[in-house]
Amino acid sequence: MTFKVAAIQMCSGVDPQKNADDMARLVRDAAAQGAVYVQTPEMTGALQRNRAALKAVLADEDSDVIVARAAALARDLGIFVHVGSTAIARGDEKMANRGFLFGPDGKRICSYDKIHMFDVDLDNGESWRESSAYEAGTEARVANLPFATLGFAICYDVRFPQLFRSEAMAGAEILTVPAAFTRQTGEAHWEILLRARAIENGAFLVAAAQGGVHEDGRETYGHSMIIDPWGRVLAEAGGAGEAVLVAEIDIADVKAARGKIPNLKNAREFSLDRVAVSGGIPA
């Protein structure tokens, strides 16, 4: 089965309403190009370093402007809209970094909370502690769509291959990595991580990213990508600013790739043995 998918690159600011308007314009562009599945980046609704200011504009998912607009877009355009993620109020001290998938009837199919928290100290002085503000998810998720099975992840999740393997073993044919990668980590690892996840699972991968210098001062890497099961980059955006990537994919390519390299079938259980050696380094 052949169909078109899209990845929307954004440079979200601090105002959720403006970001919702930008999202709607770009999603409509993708739909006009024939995309039946459209993905937006991580934190579509707002990128805001000041957590008090972010919480001040947050809503629960029943009242969130991004959620409402995405549902309306899916219904009006008759497509699947995947909000890569947006910050959602949980009703306690923490927020959720939550993705949403809406069907052509505008109804929510499912949601996914980012599992792995970006708690790092980078060489350039950047320090991030997502776990201090966000509650980590605990469930991987796949969704059976009419044309393919979709697996979910968000940004830092891409560094944990076991998540993608579990989704591929559950039948996922399209893996997703909406993201807001930092420029430093993106330059070093973004493309190679995405291509590796596609190759090792014999799956398409769609990664909509944030790109550019944002209102809150952070800089994200951009380079949204759509990758095929053999690891070939079908479409790629630039490093900054908005973009609409559309690629036609043939889901039969998943079966073909997994037939050539049947590593999902060849995987084996194994034990780990630790051998201890006494003494110091030889002189």
What structural domains and CATH numbers belong to the chain? 2-266 (3.60.110.10)
State percent of the chain over pLDDT 70.
98
Q: Is the pLDDT of residue 124 over 80?
A: no
135, 96 Cβ separation under 8 angstroms: yes
Buried-exposed string 153-186: b where 16+ CB fall within 10 A, e elsewhere: bbbbbbeeeebbbebbeeebbbbbbbbbbbbebb
Which tokens belong to 94? 């923490």
- 219 an active-site residue? no
pLDDT, position 126:
67
For residue 159, give both structure tokens.
């560094």
Task: For residue 222, give the nearest of 245, 235, 242, 239 by alpha carbon.
Answer: 239
Tens digits of residue pLDDT in 71-103: 999 999 999 999 999 999 997 889 999 999 999
Burial class (CB in 10 A: 0-12, 13-18, 19+), 233: middle
Say whether 107 is catalytic.
no
DSSP H or E stretch at residue 70: helix 65-77
Split at pLDDT 50, 70, 90, the class of 52 is confident
* Phi and psi torsions of 5, nearest 5°: -120, 160
Q: What is the pLDDT of residue 56?
A: 87
Identity (one letter) of the amino acid at 84? G
pTM of the model: 0.95
Specify whether 42 is catalytic: yes
The CA distances from residue 266 to 31, 99, 215, 260, in Å, are 39, 32, 48, 12
Catalytic residue among 4, 155, 167, 173: 155
The one catalytic residue among 4, 114, 130, 219:
114
List the structure tokens of 236: 């790629």
Q: Select which of 4, 42, 135, 219 is catalytic.
A: 42
Helix (H, G, I), strand (E, B) or coil at 191: helix
